[in-house]
Structures are given as structure tokens and as C-alpha cells.
Amino acid sequence: MTASVQVWPLGRVDYDDGLRMQDALVELRREGRVPDTLLLLEHPSVITLGRAADRTNIVASEKLLSARGIEVYETGRGGDVTFHGPGQLIGYPIIDLNPDRRDIRRYMRDLEEVLILALSDFGVAAGRIDGLTGVWVGNKKIAAMGVRVSRWLTSHGFALNISTRLDDFNLIVPCGITDKAVTSLEREAGDVHSLDDVGMVIARRFAEVFGREMTMQHVQHESVQVVIYREREGQREYLMLHRLPERGNFWQPVTGSIKRKRNEAPKDAARRELLEETGFDVEVKDLEYVHTFIVEKKWSKKGMEAHAPIFNREHSYCVRVGDGPVTISPKEHDAFEWLPFEPAFERLIWPGNRKAFQKVEKIPASR
């Protein structure tokens, strides 16, 4: 019987959420609760350091990275310094190499083969360079690789440049290699391809190389968050809501699920949740920030725990309000506070909430 691989196209995933996904899926795979899994996604601009990384290979100053909102992460994968950003397709295989593929060198070559075959489907002749990891078009690197293997369960993986802004690689010495350039599918093929289209080809080639039967999966759960702020005496304040102890016991903005069975649009869900949780009935502004994360078991709703993994896609909005009264929902929250950015930010525990607050803080103050 042919083993299967579940393929999850996830869209944008913040890097720290991507780490959580992998940790959770490795445990689920180890417990036999999920089959082999391939996550396909895109990260915002971020620099990552592998176990063998030389930090001096980050050539951009901390000031420049901070100004551009680029975070730096130390990871448990192999390899040196890597840049991830929009237009780059990330693949995280969570697969069990037991019993017949317990060879890390073979695994790396197999991942390279997946990408080489996929690129050939787009008319790009890619290959390997002796002594170097990754996939190359001539002397130009088109895909970086860095993996982690723990008791023969894999995580991390590859990053394929599709329409990535190549100038961003000037922030680092890619993989510590000083005499090679980087390239992208768009540059080499001369055509524009979506990450979803390329992801489907890679998924098919992955199943072929690893001898798996491919099963496509899709994110079923969607939610919204709404950051509420006001301006008083020249200072911006944010409305923080405290969840009931039995519902988490943490501070957050307005959040809630999109009622897809009712064909509810994300913006309509945001306005409905805003009214239900605070009493404000006003138009919301799209922050143009959509991200996907894994729902931890302890936060899943009743009946969801039997399904694994559970991914949620969240749409972000904001709204500026006046000094009207706040009417919180007693089913969700037991307290609220208006706080300046820094103390409000410190209370947030979820990466997606923090990213949304940072985007709102950059909105110019009204005169």
C-alpha cells in the first residue's frame, strides 16, 4: 500500500507561527495522528540563522533591519544565513524517514531533485553544484535548503525564489557563499507564476520522488481580528479586552470566527464582531494583513480536537473610535482597558495580534 502525503497550501505564515506549526506537526506525526505532511507557504521578510550560521553574514545594520521591519531568528535547522520574503515559496516537509530512507544525504538530494524536476516543468534547467547545498541555475542559486532531522522525523526544508525581490539578498551573505549570485524563477523563465501554481507542481513532484500518494488539503477555518484605537490629547490609545479565565485568561483585540456557512465576508464578520464585543457600530479598515496559524489543542473549540491539524486563516482590520462607551460581551470578556501602544503591546501573547498592532501604530495620527 502506497504511503500518503498531505499537502497544505497555507498562504502567508509569520515565521514564529511557522515554527509552532512544525513543532506541533512533528509531535502529531510521531504519535501517528497525521500522515507525512508538506506545508507550502510564504513568509514575510525575515532573516534566519541555522545551527552553523556565522552572524557576520548579516551585512545590514540593525538600524536598517529595524526600519524595514525585518526580524532575525535563530533556528534549529542546518545551514547558515537565509533570507525569506514575499515571492518566495517555502516548503516544510514533516515526514518519517523510517524505515527505508534513514539517510540524511539522500534526503537532501531528494529535496533538491523535487525542485530540479519542478523547475524543468517551467522550462528552467536547474541542477546541483558539487560541495554546495541547494538548487542552482548555472552559478546562481535559485533555492536554499536547511533541514532538521530528529529521530528520523524531518522539519524545516527549502525556500524557492519565484518572484522574490533579489535586492533583498544584499542584506546578507546568502548561506555564507561570497562568490555566487541568486536568481528566481521569474528571472530565469521570463514569466510570472503564482506561488499556488508553482506549489501544485512541487507537490506533484514531491509525491513522485518520495513515492507518496498526494492528498491536497485546504484551510477550513477563518477568523478576523479588529484593532480598536482612539486619539486623546495627542496620544493614541488601544482598546484591550480581557478574555474570561475559562476562555483563555489573556488580553487581546476583538477577535471572532467568520460564518462561512452564511457566506459571510471577512469585512462583514469584522464589523459584526466589533458590535457584539464592544458595542461600536462603525466601518472598519482593512489592514491588508492576512496570515495563517495552527490552532493549539487547548484553544480549539469543542468538537475540533478530533481533527488534526487545525489551521486558521485570520484577516486583520482596525477602526478609530471616539469617546463613546464600551459594552463588552460577558460571554467573551470580563474587563477592558484603554492603553498606549507599549503597555498594550506587552500584553499581547499572539504573534498575529502583535503584527496587527504594529501596522496600526504606523498609521499617521489625524489632525
Catalytic residues: 175
Which residue in the block uniquely carries the three cell numbers 481533527? 307
Q: Quote the CA–CA distance of 114 and 120 in Å, as a whole number.
A: 10
For 298, phi then psi, to 5°, come to -70, -15
Which residue in the block uniquely carries the three cell numbers 464600551? 326
Three cell numbers at 335? 474587563
Q: How far from 82 is each of 109, 206, 303, CA to CA, in Å? A: 19, 22, 40
Query: How far is C-alpha 70 from the chain's CA centre?
Result: 14
Q: Quote the CA–CA distance of 1 and 180 in Å, as a whole number.
A: 44
Q: How far from 167 is each of 83, 125, 162, 184, 194, CA to CA, in Å? A: 11, 23, 14, 11, 20
Go through the chain and tell me how many residues it has.
367
Does residue 124 contact residue 189 with C-beta atoms inside 8 Å?
Answer: yes
Max Cα-Cα span within the chain: 69
The closest of 304, 314, 338 to 10, measured between CA atoms, is 314
Residue 350 is classified by DSSP as S
Three cell numbers at 244? 474570561
The closest of 225, 210, 262 to 94, measured between CA atoms, is 210
Q: Which pairing describes strands 140-150 and 153-161: parallel, antiparallel, or unpaired?
A: antiparallel
Angle at CA of residue 218, ends 270 and 99, nearest 5°: 140
Asked, as a colleague might, if the bond just before 330 is cis with ω within 30 of 0, I would say: no
